[in-house]
Amino acid sequence: MTSQDLKNKADAVMMQTYARFPVVLVKGKGCDVWDMEGRVYKDFIAGIAVCNLGHAHPVVSEALQKQAGSLWHVSNLYYTIPQTALAEWLTGHSFADRVFFCNSGAEANEAAIKLCRKYFHDRGEKERFRVISMTQSFHGRTMAALSATGQDKIKQGFDPVLDGFDFVAFDDMDALKQKMASSTAAVMLEPVQGEGGVRCPSPDYLKTVRNICDDNGTLLVFDEIQTGMGRTGKLFAYEHFGIVPDVMTLAKALGNGLPIGAMLAREEVASAFSPGSHATTFGGTPIVTSAALAVVKTMEVEKIVTHAAQMGAYFTNKLKSLQEKHAVIEDVRGYGLLIGMELNINGDAVVKACLAEGFLINCIQDAILRFAPPLIIEKTDIDMLVDCLDNVLKETAN
């Protein structure tokens, strides 16, 4: 079977929710993936900030294989060892006291929204259920998560969205102050907006948001689904800003590719959930949490977060040098290895040209190239991509 045959088969039977690149990927190792024809690609998107330890990391693969030979799933009616150990690790390394495990980012955000509503409901403030989130935000595709998402194109065709969501511009403190009401249960945001275009807050913004929330008795929810687990050069992005949220959601890189989400909160907030409040069949199964546990342990042993910060600085500088050479580059920004390069042209042709040269990169919001390689990326890999971009942008400009 050729990749063209496979593509035809897939296009005939899969729902048409994705405009895929005409590549069939069959194998991965570290920062490399291979297609059916045996061509190798350097992966600078890592399954959208998921495979932080690269593909098929030997320690994670081994942990997974070991667990696969014993216990996969028993439901959350029972205790399991890996789930407990992962929850201990996460609470031990964050502001949070308790964790709820689920299967995806959207589900983690659903859980966060439910927790915030329940928290005020239990305190007798039943009218206090509204959530303020940000324009250009992305919180997922389920009904509540998309209702919280500040991008019309995500909601198009799915009306009516849920009641109880208000929007203000990201990075606008005055707009937030004005929108706050006695009905506001929570402010929910990504510390650095991912899908919205790798948009970074100005230095004091998040601290001010924290203060505004405190002044109003409102909960602060950070969606760290994309920014968490070392992506920004800190374990969690909130560490850059000298504040902590009340609730945090994680997913993407937590399982390095195994589907797992988590919603974390400090004790007082977490205690709004009691037996029966919320549940999921698959959340935190032994098979998935044993892999995630191997992921977080490996991150510590291999000092991945420090490496991400170093490679992020190196990569950003390289891209900034490119900016001096290429007038099509408007801006280079980001934290750690979540980097956006804004062009003043549509970026799709650049992505395609890089693919042809053996690099997987990503374009969001039409004109922003997003780089989110595995955190194990090395300078030589970065140099190769930057050379490729240099050539591609030269040709694009002509």
Return residues touching ligand PLP (CB under 6 A).
104-106, 109, 138-140, 190, 194-195, 223, 225-226, 251-252
For the CB of residue 172, give the shortest distance to ligand PLP in the complex, in Å. Answer: 19
* CB-nearer residue toward ligand PLP: 280 or 353: 280
Q: Which is nearer to ligand PLP, 194 or 245 (CB)?
A: 194
Of the two residues 57 and 252, which places its CB atom closer to ligand PLP in the complex? 252
DSSP SS3 for 62? helix
- Structural contact between residues 372 and 392, judged by C-beta atoms closer than 8 angstroms: no
CB of 211 to ligand PLP, least distance (A): 23
Give the pairing type, strands 40-43 and 359-360.
parallel
| Closer Cβ to ligand PLP, 104 or 256, answer by number | 104
160 burial level (CB within 10 Å; 0-12, 13-18, 19+): exposed
CA nearest neighbour of 148 among 160, 163, 172, 165: 165
**What CA–CA distance (Å, rounded) separates 143 from 146?**
5
| Contact partners, residue 298, CB within 8 Å, separation at least 6 | 53, 57, 59, 60, 304
Check if the beta carbon of residue 36 is closer than 8 Å to that of residue 26: yes
Strands ordered across the beta sheet of 359-360: 25-29, 32-35, 40-43, 359-360
Minimum separation from the CB atom of position 106 to ligand PLP (A): 3
Q: How far is the CB of 145 from ligand PLP (least distance, A)?
A: 7
Using CA atoms, how far residue 181 sits from 26, 144, 191, 224, in Å, is 51, 20, 22, 25
State how far the Cα of 213 lies from the Cα of 74, in Å rounded to an integer. Answer: 39
Find the shortest distance in angstroms from Cβ 222 to ligand PLP.
10
Provide the 8-state DSSP code for 202. P
Q: How far is the CB of 148 from ligand PLP (least distance, A)?
A: 9
CA–CA separation, 147 and 166 (whole Å)? 9
Q: Which is nearer to ligand PLP, 115 or 329 (CB)?
A: 115
Smallest separation (angstroms) from ligand PLP to the CB of 223: 5
Q: Which is nearer to ligand PLP, 141 or 326 (CB)?
A: 141
Comparison of 285 and 389: residue with beta carbon closer to ligand PLP: 285
**Which amino acid belongs to residue 221?**
V
Provide φ and ψ at 369, rounded to 5°: -80, 130
Distance of alpha carbon 127 from alpha carbon 269, whole angstroms: 18
- Nearest residue by C-beta to ligand PLP? 105
CA distances for 43 relative to 33, 70, 359, angstroms: 7, 32, 6
CB of 397 to ligand PLP, least distance (A): 31
Nearer to ligand PLP, 140 or 284 (CB): 140
